[in-house]
Amino acid sequence: MLSVSETVAIDAPLSDVFAYMDDPHNQAEITPSLSDVRSVEDRGDDGKRLDYTYTMAGVSLDGTLETTTYEPESRVVFDMVEGPLSGELTWEFETTDDGTRVTYSASYELPSSVLEAVVRPFAERYNERELETALQNLKTRLESA
């Protein structure tokens, strides 16, 4: 299992940060390797279901995410329910004196055990940078709005 987590402080109200991240299309705007978000189904209090394309090491991976935990302005967990990746993505939101703290975590299995053994160190560094960049892009978009 590959697990990475990053946190960023954003100088914007929690409600604004959560509203921005509650639209899955915005995740594609801030996450460099998330090239497409489509077929978004809003399930109200149960969150969302959507299809995505994520590119890792030049390979495009298509899949489906479904919300398993949806606590507005607090925590959202997506399960990778279809596609070559299995695992979950977690967004946590917390009010601070200066705005909002956002933690983005990803835990998932790579498509094959051989691939995992060969690329695990690369994939960990790659995904740490990916999460850090996504959070910095979120911070930039919301603090400059």
- The stretch 103-129 carries a mean pLDDT of 77
Q: What is the pLDDT of residues 23-34, one digit of tens each?
A: 999 999 999 989
pLDDT score recorded for residue 121: 77
**What does the alpha-carbon distance between residue 145 and residue 137 come to, in Å, rounded to a whole number?**
12
pLDDT bin (cut points 50, 70, 90) of residue 117 is: low
Tokens of 12: 């914007």
So where are the chain's domains?
A: 2-143
pLDDT score recorded for residue 109: 82
pLDDT score recorded for residue 113: 46
Strand, helix or coil for residue 34: strand
Tokens of 11: 């100088």
pTM for this entry: 0.80
Give strand ranges (E) for the chain: 2-10, 34-42, 48-56, 59-71, 75-82, 86-96, 99-109
Tell me which architecture the domain covering 2-143 has in CATH.
2-Layer Sandwich (3.30)
**What does the alpha-carbon distance between residue 124 and residue 107 come to, in Å, rounded to a whole number?**
10
